[in-house]
Structure 1
Amino acid sequence: MELHVRYEGDDDPDKCTARKLARFDLAALHRSPRSVPSGVVLDPHAERALSPADPDDVLVALDCSWETAEAEAFKLDGPHRALPFLVAGNPVSHGTPFRLNTAEAFAAGAYILGHESLAAELMSKFRWGHTFLELNAEPLERYAGCADSAEVVAVQQEYLDLAEE
Structure 2
Amino acid sequence: MSDSPSPSLHVRYEGDDDPAKCTARKLAKFDLAELHHSDRATPYGVVLNPHAERALSPEDSDTGTLVALDCSWESAGEAMFSLPGDHRALPYLVAANPVNFGRPMQLTTVEALAAALCIFGRDDHAERILSKFTWGHTFLELNEEPLRRYANCEDSTAIVEVQQEYLDRGD
Q: Same fold (TM over 0.5)?
A: yes
Give the TM-score normalised by the residue count of structure 1.
0.98
Percent identity of the aligned residues? 65
* Corresponding position of 2:135: 128
* In structure 1, distance between residues paired with 2:76 and 2:117: 21
Residue 113 of structure 1: how far off its partner (Å): 1.1
Q: 1:50 aligns with which of 21, 36, 56?
A: 56
Q: Deviations over 1:33-84 (max 9, x none)?
A: 1000000000000011000001331100000000000111111111100000
Following superposition, which runs of at least 4 residues in structure 1 exceed 6 angstroms of deviation? none
Corresponding residue to 2:154 among 147, 150, 157 = 147
SS across alignment from 1:5 = strand
Q: Which runs of 5+ in 1 are unaligned?
A: none
Which residue in the other structure is 1:59 paired with? 66
Q: Distance in 1 between matches of 2:79 and 2:125?
A: 29
Aligned: 1:156 with 2:163: yes
Describe how 1:45-124 pairs up with structure 2 within 5 A: 45-54=51-60, 55-124=62-131
2:44 equivalent in structure 1: 38
CA distance in 1, matches of 2:169, 2:131: 29
Q: Give the aligned length.
A: 164
Aligned to 2:34: 28
Residue 90 (structure 1) shift: 0.3
Cα deviation, 1:60-115, whole Å, max 9, x if unaligned, reads: 00000000001111111111000000000000000000110100000001110121
| Alpha-carbon contact 1:42-1:83 (below 8 Å) kept | yes
